[in-house]
Structure 1
């Protein structure tokens, strides 16, 4: 189980013990966008999904608010996403980066997403307070190589590019998972062509243009020691 802490715009702090973690996949509203993402994955050898959208259960301890992510090799990468966090009496929205093992992904998307954490931001918004302008909120990601900060734009869009939180809240209710401790990560938007996704650092930002408020998460990857045997 993972313990997460979120600070809200009014200064309130919410502590959440994660009991269920779910990653959505192929969750774009625009089917051309979904097809583009599937094509990106196909270039890496990942077979097309049998059901769209998909939903993958992830080990709850992989919901983290980390600044470093340990990786076994150089073919891992993040994905810009949002995350729903259900508390005892509310639903929060925060920014997230789903780090994925691309070598493992060609064998199983579900396995690959259990090989690295979902990194979440430390700040969040109450979903009810931004529900009327969700589609205007921007979602962007930057990558960096070596010791450099993430400064190369790799993903850019808005929440209108993805299935709405309401869609997934209905799915959670249908499955009996709309309860405190559930975290659902949204699925991602397409990456820019020509940008190396196998980066050493990632930063994801959600921005509310009506207030200028931003939620961010960022981390660096750290290579594990070589195995013995």
Structure 2
């Protein structure tokens, strides 16, 4: 079971053992844009979901705050997201930055498999949802990639582009899954066209505009080739 450590704005350090991880997908608020994205991915061979939005259950071991991840080939990449974390119960909900590292080659066979093949890396700072729910749309959500030591902005948006945390909390509650230690990843925002996502490192920031920033930063290490 993963144990994550968060500095909660207004209340200080906290540790939460993670029991369940679920990854949201195709979770934009603009349904026409979501359908356009589905169509684009279908042209690349990625299977279309049967429902929109989607939710992919992952092993709890996928949640981490590690500063690096090891991959088997050069076609994996992150996604800037926020994560909803259930603390002690359904009234104890936290929001933090997150990055969903995904195997893009595996994605054409199964999106669920591609999510399971990489970690969900969580931020260092969190907010109580009850404190920021009305303000969250005004937060910024940004990501940068690193190539040969140079950093480039690859995602630049806000949570207003995605379904809100309350949407997922309500859906989990209806399904009996709003349990302590549950993490729900939000899905992601569009990438800047022309920026190479297959990078040496990723950095994500979720910021409230008042000086509080939740950060994810990690390096991507290629594993040696298999001895076959």
Calculate the TM-score normalised by the size of structure 2: 0.95
CA RMSD of aligned residues (A): 1.4
Taking the aligned partners of 1:36 and 1:80, their CA distance within structure 2 comes to 19
The list of structure 1 runs, each at least 4 consecutive aligned residues, that deviate by more than 4 angstroms after superposition, is none
Once the two structures are superposed, residues 45-98 of structure 1 have per-residue CA deviations (whole angstroms, 9 ceiling, x without a partner) of 212222100000011000000110100000000000000111115111000000
Distance 1:27 1:112 in 2: 17
Aligned to 2:133: 131
Distance 1:199 1:39, change over 3 A: farther
Query: Would you say the 8 A contact 1:33–1:190 is kept in 2?
Result: no
Alpha-carbon distance, 1:178 to partner: 0.7
Task: Give secondary structure in 2 for the equivalent of 1:123.
Answer: strand
* Partners of 1:95 and 1:216 within 8 A in 2: yes
SS of 1:57 mapped into structure 2: strand
Contact 2:85 / 2:182 at 8 angstroms: preserved in 1? Answer: yes
SS of structure 2 residue aligned to 1:132: coil
1:206 is aligned to 2:206: yes
Distance change (3 Å), C-alpha of 1:130 and 1:6: same
| Matching residue of 1:143 | 145
Partner of 2:116: 114
Corresponding position of 2:93: 91
3-state secondary structure, aligned to 2:88: coil
For 1:173, what is the secondary structure of its paired residue?
Answer: helix
- Find the aligned partners of 1:75 and 1:41 in 2 and give their Cα distance: 15
5+ residue gaps, structure 1, are none
**1:46 corresponds to which residue?**
46
Of the structure 1 ranges 184-193 and 40-49, higher mean CA displacement relative to structure 2 is found in 40-49
Unaligned runs of 5+ in 2: none
C-alpha displacement of 1:31? 2.0
SS of 1:82 mapped into structure 2 = strand
Distance 1:219 1:177, change over 3 A: same
